[in-house]
Amino acid sequence: MSKEFMLPELGENIESADVLHVLVKKGDVVAVDQSVIEIETDKATIEVPSSIAGVIKDVYCKDGDKVKVGQVVFSIEADSSAAVIAEEELSPVQNAEVVTETVAVAAAKTEEVSTTVGVSSILEMTLPELGENIATADILKVLVKVGDKIKNDDVVLEIETDKATIEVPSVISGIVTEVFVKEGQKATVGQVVLKAAANAVKPLVSAPAAKPIPQQPVVAKTEPVQDAPKANLPASARFTPNDFQPGILANPAPAAPSVRRIARELGIDINNVKGSGEHGRISMDDVKAYVKSLNLEARASGGFSGGVKAEPLPDFTKFGNVERKAMSNIRSKTAEHLSYCWATIPHVTQFDKADITELENFRKAFTGVDGNPVKLTVTAILIKVIAAALKKFPQFNSSVDMDGKSIIYKDYFNVGIAVDTERGLIVPVIKNADKKSLTEISAELGVISEKARARKISPDDLQGGCFTISNLGGIGGTYFTPIVNSPEVAILGVSRGGYEQVYQYGGFTPRLMLPLSLSYDHRVIDGADGIRFLRWIVENLEQPLKMSIEG
């Protein structure tokens, strides 16, 4: 039995990915969990494992392609004992157009006359693509239930995106066997929303296919348009009252009703769209291109720069040779995200130094627990200290909801670590750091950092952070002003430690001092709270035995 392998969900707000390497070819035998494609999202490089075992039948992507979540990338002849292969029933081919004073409906249906053996085939319907940058939608109404009979173009869902309310037509025919969504839920593009049992057939003896028989055009004269029979029209060609508003039939834009309907749902005046078809006919792609141009204009007038219009770049070639290189997905997303963070968060940065002389002695003497050796790093210690600090200062473990005029306090303690890779900056997350020992954190930190650099990181590894640490101590520097990683409200920058003469106990002694830079969101954290938080971290770093880190 042939099965399709689709690009799985890759994390919140991730709709597509670039194909770096296709690791299999037609005819290859693959097993479940075998890596079949290496992709790059705007957050990480990931190897995607197969969820199906069998022989590769067809490959629908190649190196350098961009694929979307839910898109079919392979078809696989799966391991199965079934000997019957179902053939898909051909769908009716129908078309309808609006013409001045005439409504012409041309319908054609191709059928295959066969002696057949009936088999039961389960078909899946997924939430279709809803437009550029739209990854999810709210389910307003589910219009079918288990046991209902549906056919192509029957409306089965009513959904709401951040752009419009849309009726979703079925793309399969049969008896509904399962419904996976309900009203009030949020569904993702590519997610299976229902299954139906279809009467598939395996042809044994086939006769030539019948030729399409066009219907006679229906001419609307003095009769009301709504009296024209709708039963023979596909859902995409059914008229709505807006199609017959004054002036539309007098000088109609050349577009099918389905294209008009989408334009209305998106709030677009169809008459403003330039058609690329014959005689200026407007297609769905033309509507999408028009909407995209409006979005680009809106971004140019504000975008991620906090409402400041971007200035055009000069012609650099007048001054010498230049080379233009496209940003990687990770670099592009980092640029957009940090621009947003800088433009929307009122930053404050405070600085301090921690005397880590005793901590460094403790770190070098630390050999692990129960005979298990472990390399202890300052970053691992900081993760444990930060987790404890977030418990004591809950406003640092929150997010700001300006639309709802509220602050969201979190009761979990996940610490992100900024990792420098050759393709850009990514932030893997140590989950539940408060519940892990220093040994466990050290081991996990080593594994997740190596995965990040080797492009093996998973979307789950990059989600759920409460606070971020950016440690540049291995490179150098004294202080810097890190940008808060929204929707978090604070970030700790760590620079290179160095020995300084410190006056204590009546004289100067060399002490190892660690520079710390704390940036925070002034909407939820006041200056006094910021320095209390930073001082608490410093004092605990200066007393490693008091911290009881391993507990």
CB 358 within 8 Å of CB 546: no
d(CA 66, CA 68): 7
Q: Is 261 helix (H, G, I), strand (E, B) or coil?
A: helix
Q: Could you say which of 41, 68, 83 is where a domain stops? A: 83
Average pLDDT for residues 499-520, to the nearest whole number?
94
One domain for residues 186 and 121: yes
Q: Is the pTM of this model over 0.85?
A: no
CB 443 within 8 Å of CB 369: no
The catalytically annotated residue of 279, 337, 347, 522 is 522
Please name which of 541, 495, 215, 522 lies closest in space to residue 346, comparing C-alpha atoms. Answer: 522
One domain for residues 43 and 169: no
Q: Is 233 within the bounds of a domain?
A: no
Residue 255: the pLDDT is 79
pLDDT-derived band at 179 (thresholds 50, 70, 90) equals very high
Quick one: three-class SS letters along 477-530?
Answer: CCCCCCCCCCCCCEEEEECCCEEEEEEECCEEEEEEEEEEEEEEECCCCCHHHH
Q: Is 38 within the bounds of a domain?
A: yes
pLDDT-derived band at 250 (thresholds 50, 70, 90) equals very low
C-alpha distances (whole Å) from 107 to each of 104, 172, 432, 515 are 10, 19, 61, 75
Q: Is 453 within the bounds of a domain?
A: yes
One domain for residues 504 and 537: yes
One domain for residues 49 and 104: no
Highest mean pLDDT: which of 95-99, 303-307, 323-327, 396-400?
396-400
pLDDT-derived band at 131 (thresholds 50, 70, 90) equals low
One domain for residues 165 and 290: no
Q: Is 316 within the bounds of a domain?
A: no
C-alpha distances (whole Å) from 463 to each of 77, 186, 272, 419, 443 are 35, 19, 42, 14, 19
One domain for residues 526 and 378: yes
CB 56 within 8 Å of CB 30: yes
Considering only 214-223, 322-331, 336-345, 388-397, which range has the smallest mean pLDDT?
214-223
Q: Is 149 within the bounds of a domain?
A: yes
Q: Is 327 within the bounds of a domain?
A: no
Residue 15: the pLDDT is 81
More reliable by pLDDT, 550 or 429: 429
d(CA 394, CA 408): 10
pLDDT-derived band at 82 (thresholds 50, 70, 90) equals very low
pLDDT digits (tens, 9 = 90+) for 357-378: 999 988 888 766 555 667 788 9
Q: Tokens 């909801």: give the residue.
A: 401
Q: Is 172 within the bounds of a domain?
A: yes
Residue 309: the pLDDT is 63
One domain for residues 174 and 291: no
Task: Supply the CATH number for residue 274's domain.
Answer: 4.10.320.10
d(CA 386, CA 395): 13
Residue 12: the pLDDT is 65
Residue 211 CB neighbour total at 10 angstroms? 8
More reliable by pLDDT, 136 or 201: 136
One domain for residues 176 and 196: yes
Residue 466: the pLDDT is 97
pLDDT digits (tens, 9 = 90+) for 146-167: 999 998 888 899 887 765 668 7
Average pLDDT for residues 160-180, to the nearest whole number?
82
Task: Supply the CATH number for residue 498's domain.
Answer: 3.30.559.10
Highest mean pLDDT: which of 56-60, 216-220, 301-305, 347-351?
347-351
pLDDT averaged over every residue in the chain: 78
Q: Is 146 helix (H, G, I), strand (E, B) or coil?
A: coil
One domain for residues 366 and 496: yes
Please name which of 497, 518, 516 lies closest in space to residue 363, comparing C-alpha atoms. Answer: 497
User: Residue 279: pLDDT above 50?
Assistant: yes
Q: Residues of 103-114 as b/e, b for ≥16 C-beta within 10 angstroms?
A: bbbebeeeeeee
Q: What is the DSSP string of 35-59?
A: EEEEEE-SS-EEEEEPSS-EEEEEE
The question of whether 522 is a catalytic residue gets the answer: yes
C-alpha distances (whole Å) from 482 to each of 62, 144, 336, 342, 518 are 39, 51, 16, 10, 8
User: Residue 459: pLDDT above 60?
Assistant: yes
One domain for residues 437 and 482: yes
User: Residue 447: pLDDT above 50?
Assistant: yes
Strand order in the sheet with 155-160: 165-169, 155-160, 136-142, 186-188
CB 40 within 8 Å of CB 330: yes
Average pLDDT for residues 522-544, to the nearest whole number?
94
Average pLDDT for residues 445-466, to the nearest whole number?
86
Residue 207 CB neighbour total at 10 angstroms? 11
pLDDT-derived band at 308 (thresholds 50, 70, 90) equals low
One domain for residues 246 and 213: no
Bridge partner residues of 194 (DSSP): 125, 179
Residue 550: the pLDDT is 43
Task: Supply the CATH number for residue 77's domain.
Answer: 2.40.50.100
Q: Could you say which of 39, 58, 83 is where a domain stops? A: 83
Q: Is 183 helix (H, G, I), strand (E, B) or coil?
A: coil
CB 517 within 8 Å of CB 531: no
Average pLDDT for residues 222-239, to the nearest whole number?
41
Residue 57: domain span: 1-83
Report the greatest alpha carbon distance in the chain. 107
Average pLDDT for residues 234-254, to the nearest whole number?
45
Average pLDDT for residues 441-465, to the nearest whole number?
86
pLDDT-derived band at 460 (thresholds 50, 70, 90) equals confident
When divided into structural domains, the chain yields a total of 4
CB 463 within 8 Å of CB 11: yes
Q: How many CA atoms lie within 13 A of 364 on its CB side?
A: 5
Number of helices followed by number of strands (H, E) in the chain: 8, 29
Residue 333: the pLDDT is 82
C-alpha distances (whole Å) from 28 to each of 12, 81, 402, 504 are 32, 20, 52, 71
User: Residue 112: pLDDT above 60?
Assistant: no
Q: Could you say which of 300, 319, 335 is where a domain stops? A: 300
Q: Is 313 within the bounds of a domain?
A: no
State both tokens at 66: 């961009």
**Considering the chain, what percentage of its residues have pLDDT values greater than 70?**
75
One domain for residues 262 and 197: no
